[in-house]
Structure 1
Amino acid sequence: MITLNVNGVSHTVDADPSTPLLYVLRNQLRLNGAKFGCGLGQCGACTVSVGGEPVFSCLLPVVAVGERPVRTVEGLGSADHPGPLQQAFIDQQAAQCGYCIAGMIMRAQTLLERTPHATDDEIRRYMQPNLCRCGTHMRILAAIRQVAAGTQS
């Protein structure tokens, strides 16, 4: 049995220690924001925050989480009350197919928590590991800039 703190709630799960965190989040905790994209840590669709750092949850064995808190896109807000970054993604129409968006939001969230007024160069550099196959990168960057600039609608 492994105990995880996910979005501020303690969960005890029965999982093989080598099971990727992504599978525990999706299959056992029913948190489906993080997506399986490549399974190789090359696309970022599975990005979540672990201890305030963005991680590819498809690569991180659940046992490696330890005591660090896990935060998923579901922990930032809800459909009725989206968090500031989620609202910015809505405002900027940053999602086309939407598959990458949870990972994009979680990577951006970790950036803005440490650098609230990130510059365009900082945003671009930090977001580089996450890919969007639909090509909405410019809208994604605009949404992050919106929060960094403090210009929420």
Structure 2
Amino acid sequence: MPSITLIVNGASKSLEAWDPDMPLLYALRNDLGLHAAKFGCGLAQCGACTVLLDDMPVRSCSIRIADAAGRRVVTAEGLGSPEKPHAVQAAFIAEQAAQCGYCTNGMVMTAVALLRAVPRPSRDEAKQALAGNLCRCGSHERVLRAVQRAADSERA
């Protein structure tokens, strides 16, 4: 059985992988117990499974664990804690930007990547960055306010 090493939330994790083609999402949830990334569509179209791979937002349902070997993976659990949330997580809480919460992981991870690339995004830039993250609850306006709040807090 091959062993694969991932760097997840700053820690090296060795996995005994039955299949190197297994999606990264399955390894994160089933082997490492990290449940923020959700299984949504399984086709990389909804964004619920978004993680950062070498600081880029990717759909973990479509990334093979073999392709993530030795690369930096950050999940929402690696951003902050309930006691000290990341600026984006704190902004989502303050703006009540989650309704059912299923899409929240993808929205947060995509917003983190956006703010790292564009510290002061316009509303249109935020909308464009988040366009691939599906939400059926209709919390888009609160999500956009949360992105702006996080951008403002990181400038302070």
TM-score tier (shorter) = over 0.9
Structure 2: which 5+ residue stretches go unaligned? none
Q: Give 2:8's aligned amino acid.
A: V
Aligned length: 153
**TM-score (normalizing by structure 2):** 0.94
- The answer to whether the Cα contact below 8 Å between 1:123 and 1:141 also exists between their aligned partners in 2 is yes
Distance change in 2, residues 1:151/1:64 (3 Å): closer
Uncovered stretches (5+) of structure 1, i.e. residues with no partner: none
> How much does 1:18 deviate?
0.2
What is the rounded CA distance, in whole Å, between the counterparts of 1:130 and 1:141 in structure 2? 12
- Which TM-score applies when normalising by structure 1? 0.96
Q: Give the C-alpha shift of residue 149 in structure 1.
A: 2.5
Cα drift, residue 152 of structure 1: 8.8
CA contact (8 A) 2:87 2:153 kept: no
1:44-99 residue CA offsets vs partner (Å, 9 max, x unmatched): 00000001110000011111113320000001111121111100000000011101
Structure 1 counterpart SS, 2:132:
coil
SS in 1 for 2:153: coil
CA distance in 2 between counterparts of 1:24 and 1:81 reads 26
Q: Residue 4 of structure 1 corresponds to which residue in structure 2?
A: 6
Question: Residues 90 and 152 (structure 1 numbering): CA distance in 2 closer, same or farther, change over 3 Å?
Answer: farther
Cα distance in 1 between the residues matched to 2:108 and 2:127 = 13
Deviations 1:4-54 (A, max 9, x none): 000000000011110000000000000000000011111000000001110
Matches within 5 A, 1:58-97: 58-97=61-100
Matching residue's letter, 1:54: P
Identity of aligned residues (%): 51
Q: Which 4+ stretches in 1 moved above 4 angstroms?
A: none
Which one of the candidate residues 18, 21, 28 is aligned to 1:18? Answer: 21
